[in-house]
């Protein structure tokens, strides 16, 4: 009985936290449609980024998965564990939704979400650290000057593409 109560309490807390995140960000991420499936390859956007931006492939794990090495866009660290890699929106979805989305159709916002120019490979840890920070908030946290400049240049390009 106590385990059942604990499970129900955990479930209610989880629902509350999810609802709080939606209120905090002020948008429903589901509207963005998630990763687009490429009908020709059968892979989604995330998988295609990893399949096209690797440094070295150790083995093909499946049609849309490989084990290999990637470089973290923000830190320059080598990443090898497929499960610890995130594909990050350089211009955060939360920022886009609040400042750039006005009067855009679902087709347009889904194009933004899957735009490979706005997607970079990073570790899950670094992606959580960046979160929905703006360029002004996050750029100073990038220690390597070359990477910081590349981030700013790419951010500005995406900003001009979607927010001007």
Residue 50 resides in a domain: no
Quote the mean pLDDT of the chain.
88
Q: Do 94 and 17 fall within a single domain?
A: no
Q: Do 28 and 79 fall within a single domain?
A: no
Q: Do 80 and 156 fall within a single domain?
A: yes
Looking at residue 62, its pLDDT comes to 85
Q: Do 18 and 72 fall within a single domain?
A: no
Q: Which residues pair with 123 in a beta bridge?
A: 85
Q: Do 89 and 140 fall within a single domain?
A: yes
**CA dist., res. 20 & res. 141, Å (int):** 27
Whether the pLDDT of residue 68 is over 50: the answer is yes
Residue 103 resides in a domain: yes
**What is the pLDDT averaged over residues 96-119?**
95
pLDDT interval class at 5 (50, 70, 90) = low
125-141, pLDDT tens digit by residue?
Answer: 999 999 999 999 999 99
Q: Do 87 and 130 fall within a single domain?
A: yes
Domains in the chain, number? 2
Residue 91 resides in a domain: yes
Three-state SS sequence of the chain: CHHHHHHHHHHHHHHHHHHHHHHHHCCCHHHHCCCCECCCCCCEHHHHHHHHCCCEEEEEEECCEEEEEEECCCCCCEECCHHHEEEEECCCHHHHHHHCCCCCCHHHHHHHHCCHHHEEEEEHHHHHHHCCCCHHHHHHHCCCHHHHHHHHHHHHHHHHHHHC
Domain that holds residue 20: 1-32
Residue 37 resides in a domain: no
9-37, pLDDT tens digit by residue?
Answer: 555 454 444 444 444 456 788 899 999 99
Residue 38 resides in a domain: no
Residue 151 resides in a domain: yes
Residue 87 resides in a domain: yes
- Please tell me the pTM assigned to this model: 0.81
Question: Which is nearest to 130 in space by CA: 49, 74, 76, 77?
Answer: 74
Q: Do 149 and 88 fall within a single domain?
A: yes
């Amino acid at each position: 009985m106590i385990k059942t109560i604990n499970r129900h309490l955990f479930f209610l807390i989880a629902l509350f936290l999810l609802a709080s995140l939606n209120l905090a960000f002020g948008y429903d991420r589901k509207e963005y449609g998630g990763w687009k499936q490429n009908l020709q390859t059968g892979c989604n956007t995330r998988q295609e980024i990893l399949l096209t931006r690797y440094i070295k492939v150790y083995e093909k794990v499946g049609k849309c998965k490989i084990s290999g090495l990637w470089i973290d866009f923000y830190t320059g660290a080598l990443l090898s564990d497929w499960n610890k890699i995130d594909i990050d929106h350089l211009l955060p979805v939360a920022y886009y939704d609040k400042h750039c989305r006005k009067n855009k159709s679902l087709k347009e916002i889904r194009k933004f979400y899957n735009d490979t120019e706005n997607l970079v490979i990073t570790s899950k840890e670094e992606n959580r650290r960046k979160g929905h920070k703006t360029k002004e908030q996050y750029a100073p946290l990038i220690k390597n000057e070359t990477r910081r400049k590349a981030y700013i240049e790419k951010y500005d390009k995406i900003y001009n593409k979607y927010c001007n």
